[in-house]
Amino acid sequence: MADLSTVAERIVLGGTGGSNENPRGGSDAGRESELIFDWNEVNRKGRVIPRDVTFFDETLRDGLQNPSVTNPSIEDKLKILHLMDDLGIHGANIGLPSSGQRAFDDVLRMCKEVVDCKMRIRIACAGRTVLSDIAPMIEVSQRAGLPIEAYMFIGSSPIRQYVEQWDLALIAKRSADAIDLGVRSGLAVTYVTEDTTRSRPEVLTTLFETAIDHGATRLCLSDTVGHATPDGVRNVIQFAKGVVAKTGTKNIGLDWHGHNDRGLALENALFALEFGADRVHGTALGIGERVGNAQMDLILLNMKLLGQLEDQDLTHLLLYCETVAKAVGWTIPINYPLVGHDAFRTATGVHASAILKASKGDQWLADRIYSGVPAGMFGRKQEVCIGFMSGASNVNFWLSERGIPSDETLVSAILAAAKIESHILSDDEVMRVVKRVRG
């Protein structure tokens, strides 16, 4: 068989023009263009995502509204907040301080941690457009000596108005009064229309104009029940940008907050950035109300792979997800991207063979031959297991990883043991065969 480097030198990729240059040399970007044809970039729709977009973490607010999680201790909340900061997440909603004494105390403690540790992350709190919800935010900000962004929310959809028996005039007045209090007290205000993606244009126009007139600096477009498709995301963002433009007010930011009821939260979050939102929300592992939110970890992963976060170190993503899961009592699905147990495991013979060939002195290649996500970029590595669909390559890889000399007798014995089982062999099961054959 030809040496891999020789074969790679002869690779001609359709649409790239081909090359006789050895892809093992040069930059990673050069190798990638030689060895991977990226259909994602062919006739790409939409504009490139701007570099100044920001990420807003709702794990400690919306994430804790999931009915199956436990409320983390303050020690765990502080660990999670530090990991958000380490990952370069720009802002975090850390709770509703009006919802009870413990909520208030935890929010205050986290704010003091941000001040004491000189953390970069910006802190926000949530509250209804009710004066009694705004007052605790003001108190926390003053006691901690930290600017806090107030996310003030109220339902805006026809169905919500019908159930609550609200009319537009009432919603607008409550919104204006709450924003006035926040602005007078030195809070930056983001105005949140709950259920934006099912709200009427004329209602949103009135509410957005009211919020801007009274000093809100951001509008949060909420897909509260996971109703939107990417077309809906585009339409509502373009609509909101049009309303803002007509007011003539500069520097009004647009947030996108999406839920996952249709399984589209991640896709919608990425499209929102392309369509003009400059801040997107997510939670660790997508935990949140009902089926959850867009997954912050996967938003960051995809942005990294899109080349948007070139200088951002995301090797803490695994720890971030595992810390949150442990703190709230969440089980990470084994097939969850990046952090799931099986994310970089294979027991298939053909796959293992390719990884084994690629891994000989070339981790960059091994990380990409059978993975769309380079494990090493995020602090993980490729794993090869031995099972009923495995071949000799699996066994040789497994033995090599553990420094165990390989020979035909041992490989055959391990494969024979694997073929009669209905599951992937555990390390202990493989080692029992090694000990039996080697005595």
Average pLDDT over residues 251-263: 97
Mean pLDDT of 21-33: 58
Distance CA 388, CA 423 (A): 7
Angstrom distance (rounded) from CA 181 to CA 107: 20
Q: What is the pLDDT of residue 357?
A: 80
pLDDT-derived band at 347, boundaries 50, 70, 90: confident
pLDDT surpassing 60 at residue 309: yes
Question: Which of 235-244, 255-264, 365-374 is predicted with the least confidence, judged by mean pLDDT?
Answer: 365-374
Q: How far apart are CA 94 and CA 411, in angstroms?
A: 54
Is the pLDDT reported for residue 406 higher than 70?
Answer: yes
- The CA distance from 203 to 353, in Å, is 60
Residue 246 CB contacts under 8 Å (≥ 6 apart), including other chains = none
Alpha carbon distance 174, 176 (integer Å): 6
Taking the mean position of all CA atoms in its chain, how far away is CA 196? 22
Cβ atoms of 87 and 52 within 8 Å: the answer is no
Range with the poorest average pLDDT among 86-95, 197-206, 399-408? 399-408
67-97 b/e (C-beta count within 10 Å ≥ 16 → b)? eebebbeeebbbbbbbbbbbbbbebbbbbbb
**Residue 278, CA atoms < 13 Å, CB-side half-sphere:** 12
| Per-residue model confidence (pLDDT) at position 51 | 79
> What is the structure's pLDDT at 22?
39
- Write the class of the CATH domain 54-328: alpha beta
Per-residue model confidence as pLDDT tens digits over 274-287: 999 999 999 999 99
Distance (Å, whole) CA 194 – CA 207? 11
**Percent with pLDDT over 70 in the chain:** 92
Q: Which of 24-33, 283-292, 407-416 has the lowest mean pLDDT?
A: 24-33
More confident residue, 326 or 351: 326
Mean pLDDT, range 281-310, rounded to an integer: 95
pLDDT at 54 over 90: yes
Mean pLDDT computed over every residue of the chain: 90
Per-residue pLDDT band at 92 (split at 50, 70, 90): very high
- pLDDT band, residue 67 (cuts 50/70/90): very high
> Domain map of the chain by residue range?
4-41, 54-328, 345-438
- Residue 338 gets the label, from left (phi > 0), alpha (psi -120 to 50) or beta, of left
pLDDT at 10 over 50: no
The pLDDT score that the predictor gives to residue 46 is 57
The per-residue pLDDT for 161 is 95
pLDDT tens figures, 372-382 = 999 988 988 88
**pLDDT of res. 199:** 98
Confidence category of residue 431, pLDDT binned at 50, 70, 90: very high
Confidence of residue 17 (pLDDT cuts 50, 70, 90): very low
